Amino acid sequence: MFITTTHAYWYKDDKSLREIVLVLLHESDPKSQELNSHMKNLQKRNLWCMGPNFSIQGSIIEYNDEQGEALYLLKCKLGDMPFDTIDTSRILVMDYENDPEGHVVAAVQPIQQKKTQPLVICSELVINEGKYLLEWIEYHRLMGVSLFAIYDMGSNDNTKQILKPYMNAGLVDLVQWNVTNLISAQNDCLYRYKQDTKWQLYVDTNEFMWYNGTKSIIELLESDPGKSQGFEIMSFAMGGRKMNSDLMIGQYNMYDKYKQSNFNRRQNRFMTSKPVTNSRTVSMVGHHHIIKLFQGEKPKKWKNNLVLLHYHRGNDPMDHSSFKIKDDRITKIASVVQSRIECMNEVLKHNKAFAECK
**Range with the poorest average pLDDT among 33-37, 73-77, 128-132:** 33-37
- Please check whether residue 170 is in contact with residue 149, taking contact to mean a CB–CB distance below 8 angstroms: no
pLDDT of residue 151: 94
31-46 residues labelled b (16+ CB within 10 A) or e (exposed): eeeebbeebeebeebe
- Please check whether residue 136 is in contact with residue 143, taking contact to mean a CB–CB distance below 8 angstroms: no
pLDDT of residue 73: 83
SS3 156: coil
pTM: 0.83
Q: Name the residue ranges covered by the structural domains of the chain.
A: 3-108, 117-356
- Please check whether residue 240 is in contact with residue 252, taking contact to mean a CB–CB distance below 8 angstroms: yes
Architecture of domain 117-356: Alpha-Beta Complex (3.90)
pLDDT digits (tens, 9 = 90+) for 232-251: 787 777 766 667 678 888 87
- pLDDT > 90? residue 347: yes
Neighbours of 354 (CB within 10 A): 16
Closest CA to 91 of 173, 9, 11, 18: 9
Q: What is the mean pLDDT of residues 81-91?
A: 74
pLDDT band at 113 (very low <50, low <70, confident <90, very high): low
pLDDT band at 162 (very low <50, low <70, confident <90, very high): very high
pLDDT over 90 percentage in the chain = 19
- Please check whether residue 311 is in contact with residue 241, taking contact to mean a CB–CB distance below 8 angstroms: no
**Range with the poorest average pLDDT among 29-38, 218-227, 319-328:** 29-38
Q: Name the phi and psi angles at 163, rounded to 5.
A: -85, -15
H or E element that contains 118: strand 117-123
The whole-chain average pLDDT of the chain stands at 76
Q: What is the mean pLDDT of residues 251-256?
A: 72
pLDDT of residue 83: 66
Topology, domain 3-108: Immunoglobulin-like (2.60.40)
- pLDDT > 50? residue 320: yes
